[in-house]
Structure 1
Amino acid sequence: MKLLHTSDWHVGKTLKGRSRLDEQRAVLAEIVALAIDHEVDAVLIAGDVYENVAPTAETQQLVVRTLLQLARAGIDVVAIAGNHDHGPTFEAYRPLMGQVGIQLIGNVRPADKGGVCRLTARSTGEQAVVATLPFLSQRYAVRAAQVLTNTPAENVGAYDQHVRDVLANLTAPFGNQSVNLVMAHLTCIGGTMGGGEREAQSIMEYSVPAGIFPLDAHYVALGHLHRRQRLPAAAPVHYSGAPLAIDFGEQDNTNVVCLVEVAPDRPARVTDLPVSSGRRLRTITGTVDQLLADPDSYGDDFLRLRVTQPAYAGLREQVLEQLPNALEIRIDPQFSVNPHRPPRHDRLVRTPAQLFSDYCADAGVEDPRLNRLFDELADELAVSGRG
């Protein structure tokens, strides 16, 4: 059977206040097209469908329409909630979506109460068993009393053991004649973060070893870490990564979905399918003249600029006039710190003009026009008697 593994859509995520819904719409359309073109039997979405637990109506509409497009194409869908999603909302939609072949799992469930999904491949008639593990909060996994009294190492061990116990229950229905799949949203020790994850829910108490997954799992589809990677383990453990870089920390990631071809009697074969929709994120370093030398070369890319010269009045406006997609403009630290700042006791006897000059130097601003304007304002205040 053929499967498409994807995760971490983060639909509704903005970047520096800029909506990216059009990009997200294009990315999801591309994923649907890939699923149809490769005639997959099912799409596995391993969590973080949304950016936050209260997505807008427009955001929900985009996701629902995407899932329905897959269902109308005869493709089964299994989606679990990640740490950014609202599990109870997934559960509320579960009965309705189940009517059209979309299986949503928002909360951790035992195998006999919906924690295991069963699929029949339309292409081969093969049966698949999918053990589903939505994001499991550490505070849910480890009792509050233990959190308060245990050492961090003890809490890590408690979380690890709880996940093992849950997986043992979920994978008990695995059989020799079925395609055995695990889908989970969690952090595996040794995994490389993509750059945009919530670290507080990705490290320490939230980590488990990749060896936690059973040997008879034909494929383990993970979400949570945004970088595409396979982890060393007895079972094939894969993060598909995010199909769209969600911030500049992910600008160098490779955005893909995973095409998985698997049968009960042979190992999974995994092929990365590139996802090219969405704007590129780039960090550019240079002086203002260097940054503005060839504006057309940046295309529609979103930019993070590091300016290697002192700031001056109007710098930001000058840059944005030619580079409207510059979402962040910062002066390189070596040009924003004044190493020759006078001691505090010296500053107490300096004139207002000297103090203002010191302030500009401390802020990395080097613009004689500002000093002249300050002098003019100071003179006006002195003449008016308000100085």
Structure 2
Amino acid sequence: MAALSEVVGSSRHDGMPAAVARPAIRAGARAALLLECALVFGQGDGVRILHTSDWHLGQHFMGRSRQAEHQALIDWLLLQVSQHAIDAVLLAGDIFDTGAPPSYARELYNQLVVRLHEARCQLVLLGGNHDSVATLEESRPLLAYLGCTVVAAVQEDLSRQLLTLRDKAGQPAALLCAVPFIRARDVMQSQAGQSAEEKQLGLQQAIAMHYQSLHQLALQERDRLGLPLPILASGHLTTVGASSSESVRDIYVGALDAFPSNAFPPFDYIALGHIHRPQQVGGQAHIRYSGSPLPLSFDELGQSKQMLLLELDAGSIASISPLNVPCFQPLCSLRGTLADLQQSIAAALAATPAGQTLWLEVVVEGDDYLSDLQSRIQQLLEGQPVELLRLRRARSQQRASLQAERSTLDELSPQEVFERRLALEQMDEALAADLRQRYRQIVQALQEEQT
């Protein structure tokens, strides 16, 4: 196996990748270098790695561009890199919101790479289920010259997914098993006659085997280096017990769509993406979702948006600290009767920073159907620095059937539309369950075509 510490995940700050700029070290000099590395590693102030995910560059929030927010996010990130002396940034999937991101999203992507390179900070980008493998691959070789490692998809050569993260002096600080979103076709072959549950169980076993193989490769590399390096891993998937939000898309089809956390090998830290709510998995402090840095739907407004700062010292994870991401665009969701809303809207506007426009969702409660509801709410907002992005009525149990008829497609998910159509048919539950399964498979196939 090639000396990964000399090839993968390392770069010189003059812009030339180590694999090009530095010849392989001869065996005689290697022992002396390893001793020097160990001394440097033991004397440092600790290596700092920032875990983030789910940026969704190019996302539109109810038809509004997030470009200004993402620009502010990059500026804020560079400030954290400087203030906290961060050595590496790990973005665990869903870099872009779609497989064909708009040009401004690509510009922000390139800006992120260049500015972190100028800050002498390594960057590792992992593909997510929203990302196109082809889009990420097209610039991967070029970005390698800027200290950025892109792992868009599972690699046939596993050594390409084993990266060495380095400190500011260029010495090995940690090994990273860089796992992106795992597509079923990348790790298993479908067999005729399998049930959905059998396919899901087979996929879980294949994912577990992928992590096991990488972990074993990392152990071998650590032994070869002779350094007490922590072994980290990334992932872009749903684990058992994770709590999601309405903007999170189901990745895998079937009942067994969550990967059990006890199937992970004993990594020192697992940096996860896909779930937008920051959280530990199963109460285990070393398995974490960083969450998305921006709220991607109104139901994420109550969440703390953060990135996770890992400090490595003496070959272990010394600390994990959240860095709270500020709000770059005021958002608010208000719920109440028409009488209540006038006061709550005034309070929300009073809390909006001067010079900024509030993006607002209003949920009107009450059983009375008002044909002029839209105009009434607009009158309350007239002349104020606010944009009404969504107006909907609360669905009370007493008026559920009436509200269902008047619901707009904007208020319904594709699954809800399917369920309503299904409810119009007379069929047994077994057939209905089979149709639901087939529908999910079709949706997943379409989503994979887009990425």
TM tier, shorter chain? 0.7 to 0.9
Verify: 1:304 aligned to 2:361, yes or no: yes
Verify: 1:321 aligned to 2:382, yes or no: yes
Verify: 1:170 aligned to 2:214, yes or no: yes
Q: Tell me if structure 2 keeps the 8 A contact 1:30–1:277.
A: no
- Distance in 2 (CA, whole Å) between partners of 1:195 and 1:302 is 18
Aligned-residue identity in percent: 26
Other structure's SS at 1:271 match: strand
- Structure 1 equivalent of residue 300 of structure 2: 250
Q: How does 1:84-99 map to 2 (within 5 A)?
A: 84-99=130-145
What do residues 254-310 of structure 1 show as CA deviations (whole Å, max 9, x unaligned)?
100000012353334100000003224322122334323426325243221012354
Q: How does 1:90-169 map to 2 (within 5 A)?
A: 90-110=136-156, 112-122=158-168, 125-146=171-192, 149-169=193-213
The verdict on how the C-alpha distance between 1:136 and 1:336 changes in structure 2, with shifts beyond 3 A counting, is same
- Structure 1 equivalent of residue 18 of structure 2: none
Q: Tell me if structure 1 keeps the 8 A contact 2:291–2:306.
A: yes
- Distance in 1 (CA, whole Å) between partners of 2:243 and 2:207 is 20
Q: What is the identity, as a one-letter code, of the residue corresponding to 1:271?
A: S
Specify every segment of 5 or more residues in structure 2 that has no aligned partner in the other structure, as ranges: 1-46, 408-451
Other structure's SS at 2:382 match: helix
What do residues 306-362 of structure 1 show as CA deviations (whole Å, max 9, x unaligned)?
1235424333542453563221111333499499x9xxxxxxxxxxxxxxxxxxxx9
Q: Bigger radius of gyration, 1 or 2?
A: 1
- Distance in 2 (CA, whole Å) between partners of 1:223 and 1:338 is 36
- Distance in 2 (CA, whole Å) between partners of 1:261 and 1:202 is 37
- Distance in 1 (CA, whole Å) between partners of 2:138 and 2:318 is 33
Q: What TM-score does the superposition give when structure 2 sets the normalisation length?
A: 0.69
- Structure 2 equivalent of residue 228 of structure 1: 278
- Structure 1 equivalent of residue 93 of structure 2: 47
Verify: 1:196 aligned to 2:247, yes or no: yes
> Which has the larger helix fraction?
2
Q: What is the identity, as a one-letter code, of the residue corresponding to 1:221?
A: A
What do residues 193-246 of structure 1 show as CA deviations (whole Å, max 9, x unaligned)?
14320025487444211122222x221111111111111377811110001110
- Distance in 2 (CA, whole Å) between partners of 1:333 and 1:205 is 31
The verdict on how the C-alpha distance between 1:334 and 1:183 changes in structure 2, with shifts beyond 3 A counting, is closer
The verdict on how the C-alpha distance between 1:140 and 1:205 changes in structure 2, with shifts beyond 3 A counting, is farther
What do residues 4-41 of structure 1 show as CA deviations (whole Å, max 9, x unaligned)?
00000011111111112111211222122112210011
- Distance in 2 (CA, whole Å) between partners of 1:129 and 1:262 is 12
- Distance in 2 (CA, whole Å) between partners of 1:209 and 1:66 is 33
Q: Tell me if structure 2 keeps the 8 A contact 1:183–1:220.
A: yes
Q: Tell me if structure 2 keeps the 8 A contact 1:308–1:332.
A: yes
Q: Tell me if structure 1 keeps the 8 A contact 2:152–2:180.
A: yes
- Structure 1 equivalent of residue 20 of structure 2: none
- Distance in 1 (CA, whole Å) between partners of 2:321 and 2:250 is 29
- Structure 1 equivalent of residue 258 of structure 2: 207
The verdict on how the C-alpha distance between 1:337 and 1:31 changes in structure 2, with shifts beyond 3 A counting, is same
Q: Tell me if structure 1 keeps the 8 A contact 2:99–2:131.
A: yes
- Structure 2 equivalent of residue 351 of structure 1: none
What do residues 57-103 of structure 1 show as CA deviations (whole Å, max 9, x unaligned)?
11110121012111110000011000001112222211100011000
The verdict on how the C-alpha distance between 1:320 and 1:200 changes in structure 2, with shifts beyond 3 A counting, is farther
Deviates most, 327-336 or 83-92? 327-336
TM superposition shift of 1:145: 2.8
- Distance in 2 (CA, whole Å) between partners of 1:288 and 1:132 is 51
- Distance in 1 (CA, whole Å) between partners of 2:191 and 2:158 is 29
- Distance in 2 (CA, whole Å) between partners of 1:132 and 1:93 is 18
- Structure 2 equivalent of residue 16 of structure 1: 62
Q: What TM-score does the superposition give when structure 1 sets the normalisation length?
A: 0.80
- Distance in 1 (CA, whole Å) between partners of 2:398 and 2:307 is 42
The verdict on how the C-alpha distance between 1:302 and 1:18 changes in structure 2, with shifts beyond 3 A counting, is same
